Amino acid sequence: MSGKNRQFVGIGFGPIQSGLFLLEAQQSGCFDRMTVAEIDGTLVHAVRDSGGHCAVNVAGPRGIKKHEVGSIYMLNPCVPADRDELVRAIADADEIATALPSVNAFDVGGDAAPVSCLADGLRLRAPGAHPVAIYTAENHNHAAEILEQKIAALLPGGCLPDTVQVLNTVIGKISGTISDATEQRHLGLALLTPGISRAVLVEEFNHILITRIRLPGFTRAIAAFEEKDELLPFEEAKLYGHNAIHAVIGYLAHTRGLHNMAEAGLDVEIMRKANEAFLDESGVGLLHRYGGRDRLFTPAGFTAHAEDLLMRMTNPYLCDPIARVIRDPRRKLGWDDRLIGAMRLALQAGVQPVRLAEAAKLGFAEMHLTRDELHGIWPPAAWQNGEAATIADLIFK
């Protein structure tokens, strides 16, 4: 299906929804209506009062451009009448994007929960209805599978219609919300919408990967994405490469009292360690696991990828706060998450991940956790087979 008369539905109204999905949907010129579900009532009313408009700031290497996204129809699923409209919008939608804080938010909120609204909307779709693609943007390697399972559990027969496909995404787009008024003025940022004292700032990078779509007769209107038959290697490259090194820089910068990633980019010692962690530890582990599957997983391809990312992470126009980079350390230092997961990959490739271990140690120091207390946050099986003890010894030696 192409051309006009298409419907887009977004669930969640954070920087990725506004600065990626809605912006791309508008720029496609293919959607008659863009409906967004958001449980922040103040934000919903502010966008409505603006006539359905929001502003997005996009940072490139030479400055920041302001974009206006219009024709946004905001709904609060906590309000019964709004929920009813949302369900009808889902039933008519061609492309849907969930962009929530985590996969844990899928079924939170009772009747207002995303899975509840999605299941009710899909249930309304007539047999043989036009296909619909659902993008999941929760920065989780199996977000699509988790969402599909939760929706299917609420549908007759326990499965999704064959006209619906839930897709994973790899979104290497740095994004965030700037709430500090001084910083907003310094960067010349446009507020998200009048009455809301925060600004959305995203980078212009737009190489977004998604699962290969296998819906007969379906054509994406959001054309900027690139489909891959096998997404997991790229998801792990994002988590154990991009995300891991972002955290390395963040923890090192925090110990030096720096405030944003641009400042960290000017610190020669921090960037030397970050480059070593990227190429000699994380990169070696990823190439050992996925070598040759794509140009990215070659020495030349990964080196170019690392150089590009280190420049983008420290873009002065992004002004990415260190506090944002290092927040939620318990999750980021989880067994399968960025730093520990990257260390495990490096060890499997025969490399001692000393730089990754240094960053992990700083993270655990922020949490005031000792080595013994790691038994409470890493799985018992990892301790039983000795892998967790090896990782812990590297961090706390």
Tell me, yes or no, whether 357 and 382 share the same domain: yes
Helices assigned H by DSSP within the chain: 15-16, 23-28, 41-49, 80-92, 114-124, 143-152, 181-187, 232-237, 244-255, 261-265, 268-276, 283-290, 299-313, 322-325, 329-332, 338-348, 354-367, 380-384, 387-396
Q: How many domains does the chain have?
A: 2
Tell me, yes or no, whether 153 and 242 share the same domain: no
CA 388, chain centre distance (Å): 27
Confidence (pLDDT) at 1: 42
Q: Look at residues 189, 210, 229 and tell me which one is the last residue of a structural domain.
A: 229
Tell me, yes or no, whether 156 and 256 share the same domain: no
Tell me, yes or no, whether 298 and 209 share the same domain: no
Task: Tell me the pLDDT tens digit for each residue of 58-111.
Answer: 999 999 999 999 999 999 999 999 999 999 999 999 999 999 999 999 999 999
Tell me, yes or no, whether 191 and 258 share the same domain: no
- Quote the CA–CA distance of 338 and 356 in Å, as a whole number: 10
Confidence (pLDDT) at 319: 84
Express as a percent the part of the chain with pLDDT over 90: 92
Contact 170, 208 (CB under 8 A): yes
For the chain, give percent helix, strand, coil, nearest 5.
50, 15, 35
Confidence (pLDDT) at 139: 87
pLDDT lower than 50: segments of the chain: 1-2
User: Per the domain annotation, does 1 fall within a domain?
Assistant: no
Tell me, yes or no, whether 206 and 288 share the same domain: no
CATH code where residue 118 lies: 3.40.50.720
Tell me, yes or no, whether 274 and 208 share the same domain: no
Tell me, yes or no, whether 223 and 285 share the same domain: no
- Quote the CA–CA distance of 60 and 158 in Å, as a whole number: 45
- The residue behind tokens 């990078």 is 205
Phi-psi bin for 245: left (phi > 0), alpha (psi -120 to 50), beta? Answer: alpha
CA nearest to 69, candidates 36, 22, 28, 30: 22
CATH code where residue 242 lies: 1.10.1040.10
Tell me, yes or no, whether 266 and 301 share the same domain: yes
Confidence (pLDDT) at 201: 97
User: Per the domain annotation, does 59 fall within a domain?
Assistant: yes
Tell me, yes or no, whether 378 and 334 share the same domain: yes
Tell me, yes or no, whether 224 and 242 share the same domain: no
Range of the domain at 287: 233-396
